[in-house]
Structure 1
Amino acid sequence: MGEEYRAKVFKSGNSLALRLPKSLGLNDGEEVVMIPHADGSFSFWKQGQQRDILLSLFGSMSAGFMAEGRGDIDQGDRDWTGPASSAA
C-alpha cells in the first residue's frame, strides 16, 4: 500500500464536503469516481482511470490463479418438457 493521507469532512451548504490534501496530486475542478464498500471504506480514483484500475487488478492475480480450472460445478438435470416460461 501507499502512503496514508488524512482528510476532513465539513458542511458546505446542505451537503458534506471532503477536503483532500494537495499532495494527492489532484487539480482544482478535476472529477473523481468514489465507490463505497460494504465495510464502510471507500475507493476513489481520477475520472477516466477505470481502464488502468481494471488492468492493475488483473495484474495483481497470482500466477497460479485458477491453474486447476474452476473445479466441478454440480448442476442438476433440467426438465425441458415442462410448460414454456419467460426467461428471467
Structure 2
Amino acid sequence: MGQEYTAKSFKSGNSVAIRMPAGLGIEPDREWIAEWVDGELHLRAKAPVRRKIDVSGFAGKAPGIKLAPREDFDERPSSTAAREALRR
C-alpha cells in the first residue's frame, strides 16, 4: 500500500467534513461517492460528466442544408400580431 495519512473530522454547517491531505494528490472540485461498509468509509471518484457539443454555431455553415422548423414552442403573440400587420 501507499503512504498512510491521518485526518480529523470536523463540523461544517450541518455536515461533518474530513480534510484530505495534499499528499494524496486529490484534485479540487471533484465529486466523490462515499459509502459506509462494515465500519469503514469507502471513497470513489465519481465519473466526470461528459460534455455535450453545442451545434448551434454550425447552422448555415454547410451549403444545401435546410434546417427543420422548430415546433417545440408556441410562437409569441407579438410576433403573430406583427406578421398580421404586415399582411394588411
Which bin holds the TM-score, normalised by the shorter protein?
0.3 to 0.5
- Greater helix fraction, Structure 1 or Structure 2: 2
TM-score w.r.t. length of structure 2 = 0.47
TM-score w.r.t. length of structure 1 = 0.47
